[in-house]
């Protein structure tokens, strides 16, 4: 059998370049894949200087518009396909199909609720091929899984009965979005979100719920609901959990008005016709790739997530806040760590996997810690 390959699809994009460097430094000898031959060649040459030649990257062309070229990236169950080709609701299917054909591990950087939901809905189908599909291994949604998992573990150690978990995502310091983040936010307009309520996944339009979180600095921050992987991960970790909500605080003081607006417009944006029109409109808007913060701006911010846990009658049981490197470097480092775990055959289960189930709680906490994402508060 051929040596297992670690392939990075989207290597010439903004997050892809950061991830390619992290994978090369980690000694994974990645195959850098994308649609632009010249850019791939140049990137491969540049990164080859960082490591001894056996660990140097190689490259291979693949284009979503020619799915066979994406399928050619992986062929064995031991291969690992990491994708940063987004927006995922538009371009993500080809890489997932390729990984399922090979029955191998797939890891991505998506933060798009609609795409994540679809992957979890197709889990049984993926299981048949033995594929391990692990979406959202970036700033969205690793830190919230970590905060929630530590909080639930602490409750378990004290024999407490948690019923509700609320996760909030924030950044500290400047936050400049990459071209891909903007394109994905646009592509997500009109797509549905979800919450975990009374033990079930419930369709809940994005942004229609508002919550406030008190961070370790003692100040309150508003946030609006999104669909993450915590709604799948945390009930698997503690089957008694009845409610899991995930919120994003990027809109800052505009979170509450944004939530009111989303509630007003959701009956319109939820209709099939509106969704179809929004998809057509957003996919016709030209977008650039490869743009994002650089130099000191790239590393200036911090990724922050907080988990609060209550019991069935509303008693507060636990609050855990985690903080780590800025979102883009964090995403690149975590994708490289996840790929190394998959390459070493250390993924549990098949089908669509949340990060806690996929890596196991202990290795997941240790992996986050190794790249600087750690607990800063517990009460």
Ligand X SMILES: NC(=O)c1ccc[n+]([C@@H]2O[C@H](COP(=O)([O-])OP(=O)(O)OC[C@H]3O[C@@H](n4cnc5c(N)ncnc54)[C@H](OP(=O)(O)O)[C@@H]3O)[C@@H](O)[C@H]2O)c1
Residue 318: phi, psi to the nearest 5? -160, 145
Residue 283 as a binder of ligand X (CB under 6 A): the answer is no
Q: What whole-number distance in Å separates Cα of residue 96 and Cα of residue 126?
A: 9
Residue 180 CB, nearest approach to ligand X (Å): 2
Nearer to ligand X, 175 or 309 (CB): 175
DSSP 53: G
Nearer to ligand X, 28 or 82 (CB): 82
Q: Are 194 and 202 in contact (CB under 8 A)?
A: yes
Listed ranges 12-20, 52-60, 168-176, 370-378: which one lies at the site for ligand X (CB under 6 A): 12-20
Q: Are 246 and 230 in contact (CB under 8 A)?
A: yes
Residue 87 as a binder of ligand X (CB under 6 A): the answer is yes
Residue 16 as a binder of ligand X (CB under 6 A): the answer is yes
Nearer to ligand X, 43 or 152 (CB): 43
Residue 327 as a binder of ligand X (CB under 6 A): the answer is yes
Q: Are 173 and 326 in contact (CB under 8 A)?
A: yes
- Compute how many other C-beta atoms are within 10 angstroms of the C-beta atom of residue 204: 21
Residue 10 as a binder of ligand X (CB under 6 A): the answer is yes
Nearer to ligand X, 260 or 294 (CB): 294
Burial string for 132-163 (b: 16+ CB within 10 Å, else e) reads bbbbbbbbbbbbbbbbbbbbbebbeeeeeebb
Nearer to ligand X, 4 or 290 (CB): 290
Nearest to 289 by CA among 183, 189, 186, 185: 183
175-204 positions binding ligand X, by CB under 6 A: 178-181, 183-184
Looking at 319, 331, 350, 352, which residue binds ligand X (CB under 6 A)? 331
Q: What whole-number distance in Å separates Cα of residue 42 and Cα of residue 40?
A: 6
Residue 345 CB, nearest approach to ligand X (Å): 25
Task: Work out the burial of residue 273: count CB atoms within 10 Å of its CB; fewer than 13 is exposed, 13-18 middle, 19 or more buried.
Answer: exposed
Looking at 15, 44, 105, 191, which residue binds ligand X (CB under 6 A)? 15
Residue 168 as a binder of ligand X (CB under 6 A): the answer is no
Residue 63 as a binder of ligand X (CB under 6 A): the answer is yes
Residue 144 as a binder of ligand X (CB under 6 A): the answer is no
First to last CA, the chain: 51
Nearer to ligand X, 162 or 324 (CB): 324
Q: What whole-number distance in Å separates Cα of residue 135 and Cα of residue 28?
A: 20
Residue 36 as a binder of ligand X (CB under 6 A): the answer is yes
Nearer to ligand X, 78 or 289 (CB): 289
Residue 292 as a binder of ligand X (CB under 6 A): the answer is yes
Residue 334 as a binder of ligand X (CB under 6 A): the answer is no
Kindly write down the DSSP assignment for every residue of 181-245, as one continuous string: HHHHHHHTTT---EEEETTEEEE--TT--EEEEE-TTS-EEEEEEE--SHHHHHHHH-TT--EEE
- Compute how many other C-beta atoms are within 10 angstroms of the C-beta atom of residue 282: 20
Residue 44 as a binder of ligand X (CB under 6 A): the answer is no
Residue 109 as a binder of ligand X (CB under 6 A): the answer is yes
Q: What whole-number distance in Å separates Cα of residue 235 and Cα of residue 81?
A: 27
Residue 170 as a binder of ligand X (CB under 6 A): the answer is no
Listed ranges 20-28, 60-68, 120-128, 352-360: which one lies at the site for ligand X (CB under 6 A): 60-68
Listed ranges 132-140, 213-221, 245-253, 266-274: which one lies at the site for ligand X (CB under 6 A): 132-140
Residue 140 as a binder of ligand X (CB under 6 A): the answer is yes
Residue 340: phi, psi to the nearest 5? -65, -40
Nearer to ligand X, 181 or 225 (CB): 181
Residue 34 as a binder of ligand X (CB under 6 A): the answer is yes
Residues within the interface to ligand X (CB under 6 A): 10, 12-16, 34-36, 63-65, 84-88, 91, 109-111, 138-140, 178-181, 183-184, 289-290, 292, 327-328, 331
């Amino acid at each position: 059998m051929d040596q297992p390959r670690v392939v990075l699809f989207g290597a010439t994009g903004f997050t892809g370049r950061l991830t390619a460097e992290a994978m090369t430094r980690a000694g994974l000898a990645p195959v850098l894949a994308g649609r632009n031959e010249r850019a791939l060649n140049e990137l491969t040459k540049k990164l080859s200087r960082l490591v001894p030649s056996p660990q140097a990257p190689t490259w291979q062309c693949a284009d979503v518009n020619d799915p066979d070229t994406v399928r050619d990236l992986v062929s064995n169950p031991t291969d690992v396909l990491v994708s940063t080709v987004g927006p995922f609701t538009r371009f993500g299917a080809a890489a997932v199909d390729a990984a399922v054909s090979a029955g191998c591990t797939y890891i991505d950087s998506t933060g798009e609720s609609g795409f994540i939901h679809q992957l979890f809905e197709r889990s049984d189908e993926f299981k048949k091929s033995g594929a391990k599909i692990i979406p959202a291994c970036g700033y969205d949604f690793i830190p919230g899984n970590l905060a929630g998992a530590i909080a639930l573990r602490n409750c378990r150690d004290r024999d407490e009965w948690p019923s509700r978990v609320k996760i909030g995502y924030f950044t500290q310091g400047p936050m400049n979005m990459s071209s891909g983040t903007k394109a994905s936010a646009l592509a997500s307009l009109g797509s549905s979100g979800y919450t975990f309520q009374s033990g079930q996944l419930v369709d809940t339009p994005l942004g229609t719920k508002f919550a406030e979180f008190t961070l370790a600095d003692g100040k309150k921050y508003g946030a609006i609901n999104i669909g993450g992987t915590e709604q799948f991960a945390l009930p698997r970790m503690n089957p008694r959990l009845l409610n899991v909500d995930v919120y994003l605080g990027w809109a800052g003081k505009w979170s509450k008005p944004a939530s009111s607006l989303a509630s007003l417009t959701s009956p319109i944006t939820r209709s099939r016709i509106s969704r179809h029109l929004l998809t057509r409109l957003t996919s016709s808007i030209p977008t650039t790739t490869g743009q994002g913060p650089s130099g000191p701006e790239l590393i200036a911010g911090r990724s922050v997530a907080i988990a609060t846990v209550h019991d069935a009658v509303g008693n507060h049981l636990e609050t855990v806040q985690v903080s780590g490197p800025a979102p883009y470097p964090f995403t690149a480092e975590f994708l490289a760590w996840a790929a190394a775990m998959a390459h070493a055959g250390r993924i549990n289960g098949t089908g669509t996997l949340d990060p806690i189930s996929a890596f196991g709680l202990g290795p997941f906490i240790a992996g986050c810690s190794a790249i600087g994402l750690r607990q800063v508060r517990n009460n």
